[in-house]
Amino acid sequence: MCEFVNYGLQMGKQSICFEKPVYIMSSACIVGPKEGEGPLKDTFDKIVEDATFGKDSWEEGESEMLKETVLLAIDKAKLKPTDIRYLFAGDLLGQLIATTFGVKDINIPLFGLYGACSTMGEALALGAMTIHGGYANAVVTAVSSHFGGAEKQFRFPLEYGNQRPMSSTWTVTGSGALVLSKDFGDVMITGITTGKVVDYGVKDSLNMGACMAPAAADLIYQHLKDFDRTTDYYDRIVTGDLGVVGSEILCKLLNDQGVDISKVHMDCGMAIYDDERQDTHAGGSGCACSAVTLAGKLLNEIKFGETERILFVPTGALLSTVSFNEGQSVPGIAHGIVIERRVQTVD
Amino acid sequence: MCEFVNYGLQMGKQSICFEKPVYIMSSACIVGPKEGEGPLKDTFDKIVEDATFGKDSWEEGESEMLKETVLLAIDKAKLKPTDIRYLFAGDLLGQLIATTFGVKDINIPLFGLYGACSTMGEALALGAMTIHGGYANAVVTAVSSHFGGAEKQFRFPLEYGNQRPMSSTWTVTGSGALVLSKDFGDVMITGITTGKVVDYGVKDSLNMGACMAPAAADLIYQHLKDFDRTTDYYDRIVTGDLGVVGSEILCKLLNDQGVDISKVHMDCGMAIYDDERQDTHAGGSGCACSAVTLAGKLLNEIKFGETERILFVPTGALLSTVSFNEGQSVPGIAHGIVIERRVQTVD
Structural domains of chain A, with CATH: 10-167+171-181 (3.40.47.40), 186-341 (3.40.47.40)
Answer positive or negative: Cα dihedral of B45, B208, B148, B154: positive
The pLDDT assigned to A218 comes to: 98
- CB neighbour list of residue B10: distance below 8 Å, 6 or more residues apart: A85, A134, A135, A136, B16
The pLDDT assigned to A345 comes to: 55
Residue B5 has pLDDT above 60, yes or no: no
Nearest-CA residue of chain A relative to B316? Answer: A95
Smallest Cα distance from A338 to chain B, Å = 16
Contact list in B for residue A192 (CB cut-off 8 A) is: none
Which percentage of chain B shows pLDDT scores above 90?
A: 88
Per-residue pLDDT of chain A (347 residues; tens, 9 = 90+): 444 333 446 778 899 999 899 999 999 999 999 999 999 999 999 999 998 999 999 999 999 999 999 999 999 999 999 999 999 999 999 999 999 999 999 999 999 999 999 999 999 999 999 999 999 999 999 999 999 999 998 988 888 888 899 999 999 999 999 999 999 889 999 999 999 999 999 999 889 999 999 999 999 999 999 999 999 999 999 999 999 999 999 999 999 999 999 999 999 999 999 999 999 999 999 999 999 999 999 999 999 999 999 999 999 999 999 999 999 999 999 999 999 999 765 44
Nearest-CA residue of chain B relative to A152? Answer: B322
pTM of the model: 0.96
pLDDT, tens digit (0-9, with 9 covering 90-100), for B125-163: 999 999 999 999 999 999 999 999 999 989 888 888 888
**CB neighbours (10 Å) of residue A20?**
12
Selecting from B56, B111, B320 the residue whose C-beta is nearest the C-beta of A95 gives: B320
Nearest-CA residue of chain A relative to B115? Answer: A112
CA distance B57 to B76: 28
Among residues B337, B211, B199, which one has the least CA distance to residue A103? B199
Longest CA span, chain B: 59
**Residue A175 near residue A89 (C-beta atoms within 8 A):** no
The pLDDT assigned to A9 comes to: 67
**Residue B175 near residue B89 (C-beta atoms within 8 A):** no
Nearest-CA residue of chain A relative to B83? Answer: A13
Smallest Cα distance from A186 to chain B, Å = 25
Residue B4 has pLDDT above 80, yes or no: no
Among residues B190, B62, B176, which one has the least CA distance to residue B120? B176
Q: Give the A:B interface size as CB pairs under 8 Å.
A: 172
The β-bridge partners of A325 are none
Chain-centroid distance of CA B192 in Å reads 13
ipTM exceeding 0.90? yes
Q: Between the CA atoms of A109, A115, A116 and A122, what dihedral angle is there, to the nearest 10 degrees?
A: -70
Select the residue from A322, A328, A329 to test the B interface by mutation, using most B Cβ atoms within 10 A: A322
Residue type, A53: F
Contact list in B for residue A203 (CB cut-off 8 A) is: none
Contact list in A for residue B328 (CB cut-off 8 A) is: 60, 97, 101
Smallest Cα distance from B227 to chain A, Å = 15
Selecting from B57, B194, B333 the residue whose C-beta is nearest the C-beta of A86 gives: B194
pLDDT, tens digit (0-9, with 9 covering 90-100), for B276-290: 999 999 999 999 999
The pLDDT assigned to A255 comes to: 97
Nearest-CA residue of chain A relative to B336? Answer: A109
CA distance B198 to A308: 42
Selecting from B92, B103, B326 the residue whose C-beta is nearest the C-beta of A59 gives: B326
Select the residue from B197, B198, B223 to test the A interface by mutation, using most A Cβ atoms within 10 A: B197
